[in-house]
Chains A and B, each alone.
Chain A
Amino acid sequence: MKLPTFSSSVLLLGGLAITSCSGGGGDAANEILIGEYGSLTGTTATFGISTKNGIDLAIDEVNAAGGVLGKQLRVIVEDDQGRPEEAQTVVTKLITRDEVVAILGEVASSRTLAAAPVAQSNGIPMITPSSTNPKITEVGDYIFRVCFIDPFQGFVMAKFAATTLKVRNVAILTDVKNDHSVGLTQVFTEEFGKLGGRIVARESYSEGDTDFSAQLTSLRARNPDAIYVPGYYTEVGLLARQARQLGLDVPLLGGDGWDSPRLTEIGGPAMNNSYFSSHYSPQDTSQLVRRFVGQYQERFGEVPDGLAALAYDAAKLLADAIARAGSAEPAAIRDAIAQTKGFVGVTGTISINAQRNADKAATVVRVAGGKLEFVETIRQ
């Protein structure tokens, strides 16, 4: 009884070792390996899932059309559970064990900032679809993005608040544990001040908090016309409910961290009459967007959020760059990404500038009755 069990476990171990060896490099003859890391679980799980859906849709389209350089693209996905230290670990694994030629991810700036130095020091190009903190592409010449950056996003919301909503007194609630939220707060404060507005109160919270009543009570005492909450959807949804319970009925304003189907599920009617800056609107009538929304809905059963759209663009842009590079060498891919000009994506026309950021416009979206409505497009 003992012997067969022992030998079978040895066989099992041997089998594992063989599988893990063959994981590296891929089938060089007809596959190009691309790494993806994201929060498939955790408090920002929809970020990772939307991103994965967008990338899957793009890669399958490219492969169906014959692939790139005569080879099929294969994406290896790693879950970082929404934790920066885990993001660093999985990216190291993608590069050293799976030997991917390029990396897509993350959404959250904190996680991308943790992982980007790993890609940079290994000379593997990384495109973040949706991390908006300016510091990210400053990590090095291998790090790119296809979204706009926080200063622009902060400017868009400040301009919207001052010129479209015509509010004067705004209070701010910042997630102090989140680079993205802190960055947006800073820019919004500056830009809103330049446009003649006043910040009447500032309060803070930390990602993972569930009780915001103390902060909201303090804000309420200052009678703001609107509250800027550049956080992520889980906390924003809970916070909106508590704000309404306390009798704070002013519009909430936010950034692309709100962009999740879960936002209205958590916040319910409390989210109504709130606005956020987003990367695209599914109500856009251009043929490209209509086709993308249709295919996405058919495959995943929901309207794609901005993060899915950006992920789709990032994957398409990467495939395009590999084709232009004419080789699957990381350095050649890097050069091709850097030279991208006028790439037409579902989130707008993308040109990669000298700082490796994308030059493009932003959309302001209104939450109403559980749906998102297009309000306006704001340019630099």
Chain B
Amino acid sequence: METFLQQVINGISQGSAYALLALGYTMVYGVLRLINFAHGDVYMVGAFAGYYIANNDAVQANLGASWMTAVVVMAGSMAVCAFLGILIERFAYRPGRGNSPYTLAFWLAIVGSSVGRMVGGSTPALLAGAAAGAVLGVGLDRLGIRPARQSSHLTLLIIAIGVSLFLENGGQLAFGADPKFFPEIIPTRRIQLGGLTVDSQRLTVLGVSVVLMVLLTLIINYTKTGKAMRAVSFNLDAAKLMGINTDRIIAFTFALGSALAGAGGILVSLLYPRIDPLMGIMPGLKAFVAAVLGGIGSVPGAMVGGLIIGLAEVMAVGYGQSTYRDATAFVILVLILLLRPSGIMGKRTSEKV
């Protein structure tokens, strides 16, 4: 019994991390009907942002190993991820939805800068490459692409996969492919409750996740922006007619979801301090399963789904085989799609033709 309860604690702490990630999937799906496959990679960027902030000399010198450091790391990483979320939305997804003349210029500038660096090997060459790319992008947009810009959901999905690959490989370039080890920013303390052991890290993960989820619920239900988000999710065109700036709301949704992913990245790194540029793939997929399980588009559903996946995984390892760990989530995905495709808390909707 003791062992079982201990496993439940292990499962809940793992599950709350999945829940934070699943929330991002579900919110973006709610407003855009898009599975943002780059979400797991935003979580990776969050972990790395935290790693660099925690190891920053100024932070180390002024704060050292205190609770302030943890707060700074968490806030910094959430800010970085929120910004990344806005960038992704602005330059990758928005052009798939409508007007966005400078997107191509942005991407070509990235390509141009790396070509410039390869050929010239210096910063001026890099900048020249970026400028050339940007000019080419604006030109192409004027000449050929503008008429054909409106595209389908499938295009958005493919863009999402592209963004995900971009972040994974860009991460290997920027951070290096070697795993890094997240510093211990919260001192480990063991708390004994009868036969159960909980440590300060696990408690922090649980506590912070609960606080973030409560905050999110408050934002969605009791603020004007939250109301606008719900309106957009209900009907995008009608929301636009009511005077809601839908582009801004969508960008806000991305920022919010990505900030939660960043928080998830830090929390998971506290428990499992090994981080690498491909660390987002598996948790990203599992959080997606959690979102589907809870009912995609449903915020409380994502929380419940995350906890169920975390618990199921730990039980599979604790009472079965460790090799079944990754299979567990996907078996659940298959089952839920067969038995109740709308998920535990999802609304059953029929596709209008």
Q: Which residues of B contact A268 (CB under 8 A)?
A: 184
Asked if A218 CB lies within 8 Å of chain B CBs, one says: yes
Q: Which residues of A contact B322 (CB under 8 A)?
A: 176, 203-206, 209, 214-215
- Complex CA–CA separation, A211 to B273 (angstroms): 10
Asked if B351 CB lies within 8 Å of chain A CBs, one says: no
Q: Which of A43, A217, A266 contacts B6 (CB 8 A)?
A: A217
- Complex CA–CA separation, A244 to B201 (angstroms): 12
Q: Which of A43, A176, A210, A214 contacts B272 (CB 8 A)?
A: A210
Of chain B, the residue at the smallest CB distance from A218 is: B318
Q: Is B317 within 8 A of A206, CB to CB?
A: no
Interface residue count on the A side (C-beta < 8 Å): 30
Q: Is B190 within 8 A of A217, CB to CB?
A: no
Kindly state the interface size class of chain B when it binds its partner: 20 to 34
Q: Is B317 within 8 A of A176, CB to CB?
A: no
Asked if B314 CB lies within 8 Å of chain A CBs, one says: yes
Asked if A178 CB lies within 8 Å of chain B CBs, one says: no
Asked if A193 CB lies within 8 Å of chain B CBs, one says: no
CB 8 Å contact bits of B173-213 with A (1 = contact, 0 = none) = 00011110100100010101000010101100000000000
B141 to chain A, nearest CB (A): 24
Asked if B323 CB lies within 8 Å of chain A CBs, one says: yes
Q: Is A247 within 8 A of B190, CB to CB?
A: yes
Q: Is B181 within 8 A of A43, CB to CB?
A: no
Do most interface residues of chain B lie in helix, strand or loop, or is the interface mixed?
A: helix
Q: B residues 67-125 with Cβ under 8 Å of A?
A: none
- Complex CA–CA separation, A210 to B202 (angstroms): 14
Q: B residues 300-351 with Cβ under 8 Å of A?
A: 313-315, 317-319, 321-323, 325
- Complex CA–CA separation, A234 to B272 (angstroms): 11
Q: Which residues of B contact A266 (CB under 8 A)?
A: 181, 273-274
B120 to chain A, nearest CB (A): 13
Asked if B225 CB lies within 8 Å of chain A CBs, one says: no
- Complex CA–CA separation, A218 to B322 (angstroms): 12
Asked if A246 CB lies within 8 Å of chain B CBs, one says: yes
Q: Which residues of A contact B202 (CB under 8 A)?
A: 245
Q: Which residues of B contact A203 (CB under 8 A)?
A: 322
Of chain B, the residue at the smallest CB distance from A5 is: B119
Of chain A, the residue at the smallest CB distance from B189 is: A245
- Complex CA–CA separation, A244 to B200 (angstroms): 12
Q: Is B192 within 8 A of A234, CB to CB?
A: no
A176 to chain B, nearest CB (A): 6
With contact pairs A41-B178, A246-B197 given, residues A238 and B273 touching in the complex (Cβ less than 8 Å): yes
Asked if B55 CB lies within 8 Å of chain A CBs, one says: no
Q: Which residues of A contact B314 (CB under 8 A)?
A: 213-214
Q: Which residues of A contact B184 (CB under 8 A)?
A: 268
Most buried by B among A41, A81, A218, A245: A245
Asked if A220 CB lies within 8 Å of chain B CBs, one says: yes
Most buried by A among B7, B179, B202: B179
Q: Is B318 within 8 A of A217, CB to CB?
A: yes
Q: Which residues of A contact B272 (CB under 8 A)?
A: 210-211, 238
Q: Which residues of A contact B14 (CB under 8 A)?
A: 211, 213
With contact pairs A234-B274, A238-B273 given, residues A214 and B190 touching in the complex (Cβ less than 8 Å): no
- Complex CA–CA separation, A205 to B316 (angstroms): 12
Q: A residues 234-251 with Cβ under 8 Å of B?
A: 234, 238, 241, 244-247
Asked if A77 CB lies within 8 Å of chain B CBs, one says: no
Most buried by B among A211, A220, A234, A245: A211
Asked if A284 CB lies within 8 Å of chain B CBs, one says: no
Of chain B, the residue at the smallest CB distance from A265 is: B181
Q: Which residues of B contact A211 (CB under 8 A)?
A: 10, 14, 271-272
Of chain B, the residue at the smallest CB distance from A173 is: B322
Asked if B62 CB lies within 8 Å of chain A CBs, one says: no
Q: Is B178 within 8 A of A204, CB to CB?
A: no
Q: Which of B10, B271, B274, B321 contacts A204 (CB 8 A)?
A: B321
With contact pairs A43-B179, A215-B318, A268-B184 given, residues A247 and B323 touching in the complex (Cβ less than 8 Å): no
Q: Is A42 within 8 A of B177, CB to CB?
A: yes
Asked if A325 CB lies within 8 Å of chain B CBs, one says: no
Q: Is B177 within 8 A of A81, CB to CB?
A: yes
Q: Which residues of A contact B7 (CB under 8 A)?
A: 214, 217-218
Q: Is B178 within 8 A of A176, CB to CB?
A: no
A227 to chain B, nearest CB (A): 15
Q: Is A245 within 8 A of B201, CB to CB?
A: yes
CB 8 Å contact bits of A221-262 with B (1 = contact, 0 = none) = 100000000000010001001001111000000000000000
- Complex CA–CA separation, A81 to B318 (angstroms): 31
Q: Is B10 within 8 A of A217, CB to CB?
A: yes
B112 to chain A, nearest CB (A): 15
B75 to chain A, nearest CB (A): 24
Most buried by B among A45, A214, A245, A247: A214
Q: Which residues of A contact B315 (CB under 8 A)?
A: 214
Q: Which residues of B contact A214 (CB under 8 A)?
A: 7, 10-11, 313-315, 317-318, 322
Q: A residues 254-282 with Cβ under 8 Å of B?
A: 265-266, 268
B204 to chain A, nearest CB (A): 12
Q: Is A42 within 8 A of B318, CB to CB?
A: no
- Complex CA–CA separation, A205 to B307 (angstroms): 22
Q: Which of B3, B178, B199, B313 contacts A42 (CB 8 A)?
A: B178
Q: List 24 A-B contacts (CB under 8 A).
A: A41-B177, A42-B177, A81-B177, A206-B323, A206-B325, A209-B322, A213-B14, A214-B7, A214-B10, A214-B11, A214-B314, A215-B317, A215-B318, A217-B3, A217-B10, A217-B318, A218-B3, A220-B6, A241-B188, A245-B190, A245-B199, A245-B201, A246-B197, A266-B273
Assuming A42-B177, A214-B10, what are 6 further A-B pairs, CB within 8 angstroms? A206-B323, A210-B274, A238-B273, A244-B188, A245-B201, A265-B181
8 interchain residue pairs of minimum CB distance: A210-B272, A214-B317, A214-B318, A213-B10, A245-B199, A221-B3, A247-B197, A214-B314
